[in-house]
Amino acid sequence: MLVFLFSFPVFAGTNHLFVSNEKGNGVTVLNATDYTPVAVIKTGARPRGMVFSPDHKLLYVACGGADRIDIVDVVSLKVVGRIGDIDDPETFDLDKKGERLFISNEDAGALSIFDLATKKQLKSVKVGLEPEGVLLNPDDTIVYVASEGSNLVSVIDVASGKRTDIGTDTRPRRFALTPDGKELWVSTELAGKVDLIDVATNKVTGSIDFLPPGMRKQDVSPVALVMDKDGKTAFVTLGRANHIGVVDVKSRKVTGYILVGSRPWGITFDKAQKRIFVANGGSDDISIIDVASRKVLKSVPVGHYPYGVAIDE
């Protein structure tokens, strides 16, 4: 019986891989086992950030060029709703109950909080220029926003809207929080680093430099990052350097580099954390990496300028 179960894995979800194509104005859907194409979902212009609802029934897609967030039904693969009048949304986070969206408005230099039930904006907080990465802390009391044009990370108290700023290295982009919630990692694209912020004191306590073999510092532009559930290893997409940097979290040391496609941006784990999916914006494909061997298993073509990857299992 056990053997049977192992040979025919039962998926709780749809086993679909979703890739937002920034210039393709759609989301490519692939089968997450054999990577065959399933569908292309037409969305608003410039789809970028994607987040699932907590029950994984819906996928929210930020369509910056259309000033809205499209809501995709994960089973029917249709756009079933939209939240309009949001100024140039790029990335966002969703609270744990799935009630409020926290969205960076790149052009307006603000973080806006949207109520999903009423589709109304609850609050807007001014941050620095060109806010990009947004991350809620585990109990949804604090939201972090990276303003790439001002070299700032804003720490915003969700209840009061009160903002504290932390200066970072050049062009902060995206976040990861260590599983113990104590350390916030932020990629700094033009510095070629990841800055480490102590959450208790809101101070930058260190940084990690990346330099894949044979590359130059100015070609290394870290963007997205993921950290495994036990907080041992982090994977960072290095943009123009066409590599993923692998970091031992505890020692803060880079332990290796994985060559992927051109300009890797979005990155995500599968649920078992055996595979990593990377969107290669410059080569219109995704790379699928085997975590254990740190090897690329396969590259699969998707749409034009893939930006983010999300998996429903």
Under the rule (CB under 8 A), what is the footprint of other proteins? 106-107, 109, 128-130, 148-152, 165-167, 170-171, 190-192, 216, 218-219, 240
Q: Kindly tell me which of 17 and 264 has the beta carbon lying closer to other proteins.
A: 264
Closest by alpha carbon to 273, among 302, 231, 217?
231
* Distance in Å, CB of 108 to other proteins, minimum: 10
Q: Kindly tell me which of 31 and 170 has the beta carbon lying closer to other proteins.
A: 170
* Distance in Å, CB of 129 to other proteins, minimum: 6
* Distance in Å, CB of 193 to other proteins, minimum: 10
Q: Kindly tell me which of 13 and 109 has the beta carbon lying closer to other proteins.
A: 109
* Distance in Å, CB of 171 to other proteins, minimum: 5
Q: Kindly tell me which of 249 and 261 has the beta carbon lying closer to other proteins.
A: 261
Q: Kindly tell me which of 130 and 183 has the beta carbon lying closer to other proteins.
A: 130
* Distance in Å, CB of 152 to other proteins, minimum: 5
